[in-house]
Structure 1
């Protein structure tokens, strides 16, 4: 209780000193969702509510309401999109404050109910009101909001807030989750729509930190190639995904990629992923023209006539689908052992990189688990590109692991131009505009160590502070590392248990086969041969390219 009082008192004490402030109730570190309270002058706007437990939010808002003149704890709630980490707490929030107005895009209002399927037969009112796109709406005197499509998911928007006083206008943009690239079912965020806004504050996601991704089409082709090889090897493929977004993207990829069109393959869709497909069918007029054109010639999802066939899977048949090679899309929380039954064909389980999906290996003898990249968020260069196009005074990073966000805030190109923030939950961020502002020191991301050469052994010693980063646990998982030159720098990478198992079980069994598993340029399941078309890509050990060079006996 004392913590709630201190939170509210910090907000109230700062009120009036700055026109703009942001108090994060959740910034999506680990399993928490995103929930941000923004104050612009006398107005309070809640951006998203993805908290699983909203008790701290309700207490804080109730205390703020008691001290204010309004009976409501905020003027309004604006929702960026329908994913659970941004929207799962909205129903509980509505039940706690029935008169608190909640707004989103029209598509998001239609997708939101998928977050409450666990409510059974409970009747849930339509409490979220739809707002038009690219059309300013004035909610309070001097407070205007405008929604811009943000990519990432149908209905996802970036939210522009403008607060106007007699002296000047203040502008704040919240990106929600955004994606600059076009995907199969969503057009990307258009930079040209946002240029020239003269922003004061940008609240932006940093899901992928500073990492750089291959082009979207390359990601799709690599995934399709891996699935194609699994089917050719008489294995079935299991793709656990969230209910909305990635599952439908995968289904459209499988239906339209040249590896699969016309092939005699069954694609089964199970659980909430199938429910999400049904919801998408209701949104067809809002999907890109190319998708609408596709739907004029054949069904978007469910189709038993055109190969590959796409069918809904009933739970009672999960244990039978692996009799013949097939592809299954299912919930990320389902027991995968229900599909991977003993005595059937082998299974390849493909899980998205950097996801929170926990996979328990079912029947280890006949299943393998691998990861793939099919990005739904912009990478590091895309994130900085958006920032440099908008040129705000303040940049607030949310939505990402603390390590990834620290990588972004420590970028010199951002530190030199903007006031950069990455607040943890419960920390008030004051946003002085046009005043002298001392940028806090960048977080320490470099570690100074020592190198010792002793005969044929080289020892590298680092301070134990490096272990404070949450990424250390994965890096030091096995105690083994791989080193490679990158220009003039030596890059170290931790080897995971899965990579060691793959190497021990596969590399030397195939000693007589010309493949990536026996190629001298394959390290850590990546190709490091500049002459190869697979250079710098992740490869499978059974793969092959014309630049193959066999390992020597010594290696």
Structure 2
């Protein structure tokens, strides 16, 4: 019997010593989607089902089932939010196991059907039951679940599971996709709702790894400025986006930003993005008060009366392209429908760290650039949440293996938590209060040599660094930018887009809220008694909720 089969059998039979285990069927490597099976004592909970193909999950339980029985793969399913990488396998799961209970927030339960728009409505039954927010629900004897708004997308929640035995209680929190910052249509995850939980296990996403982002408003201003320049240059703008989330955020940004309010401009919305807008309108009472107030004075999306005009593109409709316009369409659309000869030149903007592909056949008619409008927390936000919760075990999912390896390599995390970044099919045992040997961190440091030759400095690195998939992007143009960060020199590759747009705004490190710009950081240690990092050595890019900016000088001065 293989190791994986033996692991699976022990998980089913409950023969392990640990009360807590996690078996991932998908952790969002290579777009496989997220699907996690949790065991807490005798109970089994499936968290999300973003698998495009659920055969692995189905076959596993059919093979292990006693003859003549019809087991369920879990006691019940909890869904964090409606994005496809967390939910697209739910319909197939329901058809395979009709008696398996599936739960989500009320908003998510109403958005799930958008994952199967290609199917007739009668083929998509209403199988998801709604749970109240912030209200603990006992599903099994001794097993309680509570869902807490997580930002990121309307209806997205973090899931808190509590399993109580005679000896003690065990608590596990699954963040799903979370965002600490407020966006245009969703309020961010509130840390105060989670503080004070005596947490044993945290399953957290690491979409952006250790990347650091400027403030959300700065991101919005940079994007708006780029679109504004394109329109001023008589260039139309094409924005391919997913059905839910980013497209609606972009519309609200374009409608309310000072570059566009009152401007004689048409914004066209095509395909599934328009369907997503309609779904938001039906859930208006669940959106933030500021959005509801906006909707009292003018339509949230469809408005041909107030400039800029927002219009739904009808099937087979070709918009008037005599003047520059903005088109939002779904990420799988055939862009040749818009970018044709005689329609002028186009700027196509795609979000960073996305799987949206633009074919080279369109290169003669358009310029393709990327932009950042984050919907996930960056590295400092991720570590901030971990330090506030202080779990014994941290499991990283939802991100490229290299980004997750960056997080598990952080000294500030390794010194305090048991870190895991499992591949699909790898069982993670979670012993609580027992001696645990932390595995060696993945090797992410490379030794090189520095040579000074007159007016030139040469840095030589081993060719092993090129094996990392990020190298291709870093070395795209062969040009780099260097800047001081405290006592360290940071190198970053310059992309072709940056070289073509030398005047584009870029944030500086001193703009960030991090330990390097905090008044309580001295000698790379935190000296703030109210900080969870007090008396610890900190990385300059670290962050905690007790941050206070050092207004006297920045580390770059």
The question of a shared fold, defined as TM-score above 0.5 by the shorter chain, is answered with yes
TM-score (norm 2): 0.87
Task: Quote the residue 1:186 is aligned against.
Answer: 186
Superposition deviation, residue 439 in structure 1: 1.3
Evaluate the alpha carbon distance shift between residue 280 and residue 451 of structure 1 in structure 2; reply closer, same or farther with a 3 A threshold. Answer: same
Task: Quote the residue 1:433 is aligned against.
Answer: 432
CA RMSD in angstroms, aligned pairs only: 2.4
Larger deviation: 333-342 or 9-18? 9-18
Alignment of 1:349-368 (within 5 A): 349-361=348-360, 363-368=362-367
Task: Quote the residue 1:111 is aligned against.
Answer: 111
Distance 1:219 1:529 in 2: 14
Superposition deviation, residue 313 in structure 1: 0.7
2:161 partner SS: strand
Distance 1:529 1:155 in 2: 33
Whether contact under 8 Å (2:14, 2:42) holds in the other structure is no
Task: Quote the residue 1:279 is aligned against.
Answer: 279
Larger deviation: 419-428 or 108-117? 419-428
Evaluate the alpha carbon distance shift between residue 332 and residue 290 of structure 1 in structure 2; reply closer, same or farther with a 3 A threshold. Answer: same
Superposition deviation, residue 213 in structure 1: 0.9
Distance 1:256 1:527 in 2: 23
Alignment of 1:248-263 (within 5 A): 248-263=248-263
2:126 partner SS: coil
Superposition deviation, residue 481 in structure 1: 3.1
Whether contact under 8 Å (2:302, 2:312) holds in the other structure is yes
Matched, 1:465 2:472: no
2:483 partner SS: strand
Evaluate the alpha carbon distance shift between residue 13 and residue 448 of structure 1 in structure 2; reply closer, same or farther with a 3 A threshold. Answer: farther
Distance 1:68 1:224 in 2: 61
Superposition deviation, residue 62 in structure 1: 2.8
Whether contact under 8 Å (2:4, 2:426) holds in the other structure is no
Evaluate the alpha carbon distance shift between residue 273 and residue 491 of structure 1 in structure 2; reply closer, same or farther with a 3 A threshold. Answer: same
Task: Quote the residue 2:57 is aligned against.
Answer: 57
Evaluate the alpha carbon distance shift between residue 346 and residue 241 of structure 1 in structure 2; reply closer, same or farther with a 3 A threshold. Answer: same
Distance 1:468 1:67 in 2: 48
Distance 2:148 2:434 in 1: 29
Distance 2:42 2:385 in 1: 29
Whether contact under 8 Å (1:322, 1:340) holds in the other structure is no
Superposition deviation, residue 315 in structure 1: 3.6
Evaluate the alpha carbon distance shift between residue 52 and residue 527 of structure 1 in structure 2; reply closer, same or farther with a 3 A threshold. Answer: closer
Whether contact under 8 Å (1:183, 1:249) holds in the other structure is yes
Evaluate the alpha carbon distance shift between residue 192 and residue 66 of structure 1 in structure 2; reply closer, same or farther with a 3 A threshold. Answer: farther
Evaluate the alpha carbon distance shift between residue 529 and residue 153 of structure 1 in structure 2; reply closer, same or farther with a 3 A threshold. Answer: closer
1:181 partner SS: coil
Whether contact under 8 Å (1:351, 1:357) holds in the other structure is yes
Whether contact under 8 Å (2:274, 2:312) holds in the other structure is yes
Alignment of 1:323-362 (within 5 A): 323-361=322-360
Evaluate the alpha carbon distance shift between residue 188 and residue 399 of structure 1 in structure 2; reply closer, same or farther with a 3 A threshold. Answer: same
TM-score (norm 1): 0.87
Number of matched residues?
510
1:134 partner SS: coil
Superposition deviation, residue 4 in structure 1: 6.8
Task: Quote the residue 2:125 is aligned against.
Answer: 125
Whether contact under 8 Å (1:4, 1:59) holds in the other structure is no
Superposition deviation, residue 28 in structure 1: 0.6
Which of 466, 482, 495 does residue 480 from structure 2 map onto?
482
**How big is each residue's C-alpha offset from its partner over 1:458-511, in whole Å with a ceiling of 9 and x where there is no partner?**
654333332332212323445x131423244443333445556x38xxxxxxxx
Whether contact under 8 Å (2:331, 2:356) holds in the other structure is yes
Evaluate the alpha carbon distance shift between residue 465 and residue 9 of structure 1 in structure 2; reply closer, same or farther with a 3 A threshold. Answer: farther
Superposition deviation, residue 52 in structure 1: 0.7
Evaluate the alpha carbon distance shift between residue 435 and residue 4 of structure 1 in structure 2; reply closer, same or farther with a 3 A threshold. Answer: closer
